[in-house]
Amino acid sequence: MLKINEIYQSVQGESTYVGLPCVFVRLSGCDLRCSYCDTEYAFYEGTKMSLEEVLQKIKNYDCNLVEVTGGEPLLQKKVYELFDLLLEQNYEVMLETGGHISVEKVPKEVIKIVDVKTPSSKMSHKNFYENLSLVDEKDELKFVIGSREDYAWAKELLAKNNTKGKVLFSPVWNELEPDKLVAWILEDKLQVRFQLQMHKVIWAAETQGV
């Protein structure tokens, strides 16, 4: 059984898959408390569901792209069976993870979106830095930037580590003006992808199930 907070269809709001229709499977529970968290409702709320029940709900949307997110999905051991089941059914599978748990056991075929916690998150001490070398060309590293300090920290970390994953920088919503982050990236000629949380542009920032 998995504890599921919600399953819904929307468009991808982040990552290089932004704008594509996607089914989101949000698992309950998280052991991080990031300062900018926008899914606190997933910390505890949820319903126990079997893998077959989860798969049936996904099938109802008739959409081939599925993202497993949270909370922190890797806290639930059954999630690895969910990955296998979805891959067997020929779904394109994405994982959004907080970056403090090793992704080594995640199937190679799963597209891993690994959040690297910056200082302003208050959770940077929890980062599992070995993940930087566990991602490959199809995977992505996401840095949520809340300040110039966060930006400098992320820039230095990337300079010290060779990583194969795509790198995403996004501003903390309503905390850092997007144009400032873009200006820093261009000034330093960083080869990173700037992104906004598109779902918060389309709908109100606090809207659930989108």
User: What average pLDDT score do residues 75-92 get?
Assistant: 98
pLDDT of amino acid 201: 77
Binned at pLDDT 50, 70 and 90, residue 175 comes out as: confident
Predicted confidence (pLDDT) at residue 164 exceeds the cutoff of 70: yes
- Looking from the CA of 118 toward its CB, the CA atoms found within 13 Å total 25
Residue 205: is its pLDDT beyond 70? no
Query: Does 208 reside within a domain?
Result: no
Q: Which domain does 95 fall in, by range?
A: 2-202
Residue 93 lies in a domain: yes
Check residue 202 and give its pLDDT.
77
Q: DSSP string spanning 14-48?
A: SSTTTTSEEEEEEE---S---TT-S-GGGTT--EE
pLDDT reading at 200 higher than 90: no
Q: Is the pLDDT of residue 207 over 90?
A: no
210 located within any domain? no
Q: What is the mean pLDDT of residues 93-102?
A: 98
pLDDT at 112 over 90: yes
Whether 198 is in a domain gets the answer yes
The answer to whether the CB of 197 falls within 8 A of the CB of 145 is no
List the CATH number of the domain containing 189: 3.20.20.70
Mean pLDDT (the chain) is 94
**Ranges 73-82, 139-148, 171-180, 193-202: which has the least confidence:** 193-202
The answer, yes or no, to whether residue 210 has pLDDT greater than 70, is: no
Average pLDDT, stretch 81-107? 98
% of the chain exceeding 70 in pLDDT: 97
Task: Inform me whether the pLDDT recorded for 209 exceeds 80.
Answer: no
Query: In this structure, are strands 111-115 and 92-97 parallel, antiparallel, or unpaired?
Result: parallel
Look at residue 165 and tell me if it is in a domain: yes
| Number of domains present in the structure of the chain | 1
In a domain, 19, yes or no: yes
The token pair at 98 is: 């907080």
Q: What is the value of pTM for the model shown?
A: 0.93
Q: Is position 150 within any domain? A: yes
Q: Identify whether 207 is part of a domain.
A: no
- For residue 154, pLDDT over 90 is answered with yes
